[in-house]
A and B are shown apart, each in its own frame.
Chain A
């Protein structure tokens, strides 16, 4: 039936009638084609001995040479381990914004509540560069705020920015500090949608404050939380380049070299385009598999899924 000329004619008519909508859509489609889909074709260079003179199409094939090179390099286990440590550690802080939202929800509406929210998401607007600059200044053991605090108690402050062992903790907890308020907004919004009669009914039944949190608020937040969790797990290996790269120094490099910083250094700083693309592709594929896996699991056990 679909190929019925009448059907095609009607579809064309519908397109013609709404031509204006395609005009609105056009710029975004064009930009996406040029800057998102065209580079996807470029992924081919991961399988080629790319030479700029020959271009992507004419460069000779290299097969899986660059993937093998990566698997056998000493950076393989190191970067993957670091990436996993940092992302799993971040993932573990996932419930903190939820707890903050539950806390805010317990406050009486008023000036304090508003102040609390405004202040709690202020740090979100600090840029990554400034954030890392701030950390360098404040965490300096000799002249920084943290150093001074330790001195009050006559102790020597640890070098937070120059320690391999502490790198992941500094990274993760500074992130929590910066984004917890912001991340909680979405849960606060979900909680504000709770029907007040539920609370009233619970009060009549003699439920305590804690009971209400446990049996009304938390179940209310679960669908939102699971959706966000799926998204986070899907990006498990995609730990952000920006902050890690800025925080890196010679002292912490052992635990701060992650896949994305390695891709950048190999690719743009030492111009090994094919090798860098291979590492990047490896990373993307694993992300993709993780996302699909988690989505399937979630579909199976909880009815929540992204598609």
Chain B
């Protein structure tokens, strides 16, 4: 930010600019520091953290928290389940939403308006928690793998964004030409439209994947078997529900257990968040594109 381009005309930095960048730097610190603190705390001696001796660098370096995690079988079961739900859910969600969005983008689709309304209505009105729960139970999906990916795969907002993308980025002449060459709708969609739509596929794919990676509500309601629990539900037990449980017992052993539990909380946050944080910078440019498309809704 201090390296202004060395042209003759604009090296002058105004007061307004100084204020602007000072504010921006403060803002950055406010965002980054809590996250950074969790990282260094996960490598530090828990009592140093509790006593307020950890500020900039880890103190009393230790990997004990991560070692404790390795012993925690539930976390790895949750990890595995979340990866499964995310991969299957994302692929399925992409197929369902993108293909419907493409159909809706075609002006020559008879009943286009009706179908659009059919989907959009569900954004504003729904059966609510209990009727949805009863429906899912009636379909025998309660406490199954499928309940995590099937019922909630249609995301109307994503569909609208994709529809707008197809309307604005795929020229209608292309279809005319393909038609003359005797190409049907399905072949045209798979062979011509999809290869031209990498940007929107990347955006929706990541949106959906982040959603699955982070979701816990559906698991909380529709799953009973701990072997099906996604990571977030396990995390909830470690981070929020059982706050004090490891404090049982007496004396020094309990103290040690409590300290370890605290330390593990830092490490578990790190390992649960790292995958998402790693992916997104690479797809960031698509992300911006996607949001811009979303902005031109309708």
Contacts from A to B (Cβ < 8 Å): 11, 14-15, 18-25, 27-29, 31-32, 34-43, 45, 56, 100, 103, 106-108, 110-112, 115-116, 118-120, 122-123, 125-130, 132-134, 136-138, 142-143, 145, 147-149, 151-152, 177, 181, 185-186, 189-190, 209, 224, 227, 234, 241-242, 246, 263-264, 267-268, 273, 276-277, 280-281, 284, 287-288, 291
Q: List 27 A-B contacts (CB under 8 A).
A: A24-B102, A27-B95, A28-B97, A28-B100, A35-B150, A39-B134, A40-B125, A42-B131, A43-B128, A107-B20, A110-B1, A120-B27, A125-B214, A125-B273, A125-B276, A127-B232, A129-B216, A129-B232, A129-B240, A130-B272, A133-B269, A177-B31, A242-B216, A273-B130, A277-B128, A277-B129, A284-B128
B127 within 8 A of A: yes
A-side contacts of B200, CB under 8 Å: none
Which residues from chain B sit less than 8 Å from chain A, CB to CB?
Answer: 1, 4, 14, 16, 20-21, 23-24, 27-28, 30-32, 34-35, 37-38, 49-52, 95-97, 99-100, 102-104, 106, 108-110, 115, 118-119, 122, 124-136, 139, 150-154, 159, 184-186, 188-189, 210, 213-217, 221, 232, 235-236, 238-240, 243, 262, 265-266, 269, 272-273, 276-277, 280-281, 284, 287-288, 291-292, 294-295, 297
Residue ID in chain B nearest A38 by CB atoms: B135
Question: Apart from A21-B103, A125-B280, what 17 extra A-B contacts exist at CB < 8 Å?
Answer: A15-B110, A18-B108, A24-B99, A28-B97, A36-B154, A39-B127, A42-B132, A45-B130, A112-B24, A116-B28, A122-B35, A125-B276, A145-B34, A224-B295, A273-B134, A280-B129, A284-B125
Given the known A-B contacts A40-B131, A242-B216, A280-B128, are A127 and B100 also in contact in the complex, defined by CB atoms under 8 Å? no
Distance in angstroms between the alpha carbons of A31 and B154 in the assembled complex: 7
Smallest CB separation, B130 vs chain A (Å): 5
| Most interface-central of B115, B130, B134, B214 (chain A CB within 10 A) | B130
- Across the interface, which residues of A come within 8 angstroms of B214, CB to CB? 125, 127-129
Q: Which of A120, A125, A264, A277 has the most CB of B within 10 A?
A: A125
Contacts of A24 in B (CB 8 A): 99-100, 102-103, 185-186, 189
Contact (Cβ within 8 A) A28 B159? yes
- Tell whether A133 pairs with B239 under 8 Å between CB atoms, given A18-B106, A31-B153, A138-B37: yes
Q: Which residues of A contact B281 (CB under 8 A)?
A: 118
**Neighbouring B residues of A122 by C-beta, 8 Å:** 31, 35, 277
B186 touches A23 (CB 8 A): yes
Is B132 a contact of A39 with CB atoms below 8 Å?
yes
Write out the residue numbers on chain B whose beta carbons fall within 8 Å of the beta carbon of A134.
Answer: 34, 38, 269
Decide: B236 and A246 in contact? CB cutoff 8 A. Answer: yes
Q: A227 to chain B: which residues have CB within 8 Å?
A: 297
Interface pair A27/B288, CB less than 8 Å apart = no
The answer to whether A177 and B30 touch across the interface, beta carbons within 8 angstroms, is yes
Contact A136 B240 (CB under 8 A): yes
Q: Write out the residue numbers on chain A whose beta carbons fall within 8 Å of the beta carbon of B103.
A: 21-22, 24-25
A232 to B151, CA, bound (A): 25
Known: A119-B31, A268-B221. A129 touches B127 (CB 8 A): no
**A56 to B133 Cα, complex, angstroms:** 13
A-B CB proximity, top 8 nearest: A39-B127, A20-B185, A42-B131, A133-B239, A148-B52, A127-B214, A28-B100, A280-B128
Measured CB to CB, the nearest residue on chain A to B289 is A189
* Chain A interface helix/strand/loop/mixed: helix
Tell me, in angstroms, the Cα distance from A83 to B34 when the chains sit together: 28
CA distance A68 to B129 in the complex (A): 20
Nearest-CB residue, chain B, relative to A287: B124
Among A24, A45, A115, max chain B CB count under 10 A is at: A24
From B14, B134, B185, contact of A42 by CB (8 A): B134
Distance A276 CA – B99 CA, assembled complex (angstroms) = 36
B110→A14 contact, CB < 8 A: yes
CB distance from A134 to the nearest CB of B (A): 6
In angstroms, how far is the closest chain B Cβ from the Cβ of A97?
12
Distance (whole angstroms) from the CB of B178 to the closest CB of chain A: 12
